[in-house]
A and B are shown apart, each in its own frame.
Chain A
């Protein structure tokens, strides 16, 4: 088959051509467990005395909580414990705080204001699931219903209700500067002025639920040695463990997480909601506690792939070459950030799709609305904008009267081209993809298009970083005061220029909010971290002089470079005991509260009953 040959040729130095896997079944390692019904999903661990936890959820999009009356629920049959916000030791988190991205903003259990339908305001732990359900129905919550906003653009208006108090402008704050993520490459206005056609389009997608057949859930139980075991459906075991440790203000060494057998995830099982709640239940009751979403909860509060709205504007030459392209994107994050902030970073790196366009600008907004928070799902951040881009390519092809496959080949990126996020494209294969697609579908393309190759024609002047026009519209908070345009460059009173060849502007990320999150080499087993940078890549970035052959290696943002000097944990103000040697190395890590037992000898839960295990 020609197409297979072809890919071999293309990636000759990168892949093992002896693989013979595509197109035929492979026996999975875990398949025996699957076909015998013995693969251990989290709910396949039996515990004597298992308790069941369920949440009382907001029926409103947006409401202030005046009071929560649990007195009737507490007296219901089988109820063991009512859990409220005050029971959560450190009740504020954002999922990506573990990688120091974004501000803590979401409570595990709400006590002041709900911002989406289904947000938990209390949890009930009872002997049976049915009893927990009945008791949840008996909790009385007095809500003051607030105006809500469900559309991301409505949410950007100055008078829009504030969804999430931590982000009072209804947008995620990027780099402590802007209410959106900017990308500027070249001069789009110049590109538009040189174009023969301007093609504009708007594309909207809906939220998509991952809908795994196994719903999200976890079972936690006290082990001996003061630890807690947690069997979970998570797709991100250490993420869930870290999040649980943070929310429960508990050393992670006291948590024993068991996962890995997941009944479908597709991104919907990274949000680490069920794990902290079930462990909290086990802490509060001293018994094994299961917290499992039913199907209705999975669909209602399970975080989906968020909805996106895209506006694309192209300046196109008569022959079909795209000279300039701008994007205005709105990610509907729902009420809290979860992973939407990161989706936008991914998306901005992907813009303008697999095409070489000399002038590109984008403004992408992570907008809070009173909808279910959005999170990861298979290629999130990319799929939505790709949908928009490819619809738009067809629209461009129609406008200039070109075969849509040929239009793509004409504008396709090639090896050595500079992408707008200032990395060189390599291993590109869009042209070849298009050629195979035309063959397979019988959609004829011209001989010239059929001769093109991703391996040639790229690089050279196409590898240059142009002088780029910048603006400072959309600083954090500006939109709350006045209605300002969302499109790139619009409404700018003044413009700046970034010299041609500038690789990137180093952005200093926010300081870690929690000292415990500071990466300390001593904690990872290094006695004396080297102070001097040992590799050139570790030097702080500086503008790279314009050159004909830019380095393929991107200049790393300062914060991501291996830190030459680890930030030491804060020293107590009390006078230090005199040191025997003037060792400049930071003092060994010493947590405020010593980790308690359990690290050396993981215990076996007294609730695990051998007779019932198969």
Chain B
């Protein structure tokens, strides 16, 4: 049977979860596992109150988002308006009032669209032990991670440098066939230091490094992105699931990447 432990601080929670208990954020993933009897270790640890971890605040050039901020909190914050199109793509309104930014980072395939955006934005994470890490390294070892995320920090992208796109079969709310995010800093019309991330194309959100490299110094037009498109899925072997086969995902990824890069931002 499931046992639930309630603690007051994230540090206590991390100590409990190091004993393999699962941390309850918004509940959208953990409670589903509880309902279906799928928790490998039926122990849950939760915070009495997560209010302190829900803040979204500008701090100099960076913006800090508390790990317990919900998608609804993101949508209500004018500080992160560039992330509104991303948060709106997660679940329906009820899910968005529950699902947290921190939880999204740990959401298994094919979920975790918000983390795809954070990965493209080179998010830095403050962890429960006070250390900092970048999202990409955390995702690489996500399954063995025993620390908890306290907050996420990102730089506000300039102009339309940030784009996001979610591809699903059901509108307006559906699970990802894939999601794509790009951060395209430009100087004098040439891209420099692009970051592109895919969701639902691997067990975790991943960067498309070959495509990023192909965009270095390129212009954002049909010719400029041609190399990136042909390198879009290099090194990726997308999974099969009920929504799409890995083969299909590979075939359509360049099409959607092209729309992302040339479409000038997100589409509902």
Contacts and interface: CB of A to CB of B under 8 A. Distances in A.
Q: Report if A and B touch in the complex (beta carbons < 8 A).
A: yes
Interface of A: 77, 130-131, 133-134, 137, 294, 296
A131 B1 contact: yes
A131 B42 CA distance: 12
A130 B2 contact: yes
Which label, helix, strand, loop or mixed, suits the secondary structure of the B interface? Answer: loop
B268 interface: no
Contacts of A130: 1-2, 37
A134 B39 CA distance: 11
Interface string B1-34: 1100000000000000000000000000000000
B37 A133 contact: yes
A213 to B, nearest CB: 15
A461 to B, nearest CB: 51
A509 B1 CA distance: 54
Contacts of A296: 36
Contacts of B2: 130
5 contacts: A130-B2, A131-B1, A137-B37, A294-B35, A296-B36
A77 B36 contact: no
Contact of B1 (A134, A137, A294): A134
A131 B2 CA distance: 10
Nearest to B38: A133
Counting chain A CB atoms within 10 Å of each CB, the highest count among B1, B36, B37 belongs to: B37
A509 to B, nearest CB: 42
Nearest to B34: A130
Contacts of B35: 294
Nearest to A134: B37
A137 B1 CA distance: 13
A169 to B, nearest CB: 33
Counting chain B CB atoms within 10 Å of each CB, the highest count among A77, A133, A137, A296 belongs to: A133
Given A130-B37, A133-B36, A294-B35, 6 more contacts: A77-B1, A130-B1, A131-B1, A133-B37, A134-B37, A294-B36
A133 B37 CA distance: 7
A347 B36 CA distance: 39
B243 to A, nearest CB: 14
A296 B35 CA distance: 11
A137 B38 CA distance: 10
B157 to A, nearest CB: 39
A137 B2 CA distance: 15
Contacts of A131: 1
Contacts of A294: 35-36
Nearest to A133: B37
Nearest to B35: A294
A137 to B, nearest CB: 7
Contacts of A77: 1
Interface string B165-177: 0000000000000
Contacts of A137: 37
Contacts of B1: 77, 130-131, 134
A446 B184 CA distance: 58
Nearest to A54: B37
Contacts of A133: 36-37
A134 B1 CA distance: 8
A368 B206 CA distance: 44
A55 to B, nearest CB: 13
Interface string B32-74: 0001110000000000000000000000000000000000000
A126 to B, nearest CB: 11
B241 to A, nearest CB: 14
Closest 4 CB pairs of A and B: A133-B37, A130-B37, A134-B37, A130-B1
Nearest to B1: A130
B123 to A, nearest CB: 33
A133 B38 CA distance: 10
A130 B34 CA distance: 9
A294 B33 CA distance: 13
A133 B39 CA distance: 12
Nearest to A295: B36
A258 to B, nearest CB: 27
A472 to B, nearest CB: 44
A351 B2 CA distance: 56
A318 B239 CA distance: 51
Counting chain B CB atoms within 10 Å of each CB, the highest count among A130, A134, A137, A294 belongs to: A130
Nearest to B242: A299
Contacts of A134: 1, 37
B31 to A, nearest CB: 12
Nearest to A299: B242
A298 to B, nearest CB: 13
Contacts of B36: 133, 294, 296
A190 to B, nearest CB: 47
Nearest to B37: A133
A77 B1 CA distance: 9
A17 B120 CA distance: 64
B30 to A, nearest CB: 14
A107 B141 CA distance: 47
Contacts of B37: 130, 133-134, 137
A243 to B, nearest CB: 29
A430 to B, nearest CB: 34
B88 to A, nearest CB: 24
A164 B1 CA distance: 39
A296 B242 CA distance: 13
B163 to A, nearest CB: 34
Nearest to B2: A130
Nearest to A128: B1
B219 to A, nearest CB: 45
A294 B34 CA distance: 13
A137 B42 CA distance: 14
A133 B1 CA distance: 10
A294 B1 CA distance: 19
A124 B174 CA distance: 35
A130 B1 CA distance: 7
A137 B37 CA distance: 9
A129 to B, nearest CB: 9
A196 B37 CA distance: 64
A130 B2 CA distance: 9
A134 B2 CA distance: 11
A286 B36 CA distance: 27
Interface in B64-98: none
A585 to B, nearest CB: 60
B33 to A, nearest CB: 12
A326 to B, nearest CB: 35
A77 B36 CA distance: 18
A294 B2 CA distance: 19
A429 B36 CA distance: 51
A134 B34 CA distance: 11
A371 to B, nearest CB: 16
A494 B164 CA distance: 68
A294 B35 CA distance: 9
B52 to A, nearest CB: 32
A118 B140 CA distance: 35
A590 to B, nearest CB: 50
B250 to A, nearest CB: 23
Nearest to A137: B37
B227 to A, nearest CB: 39
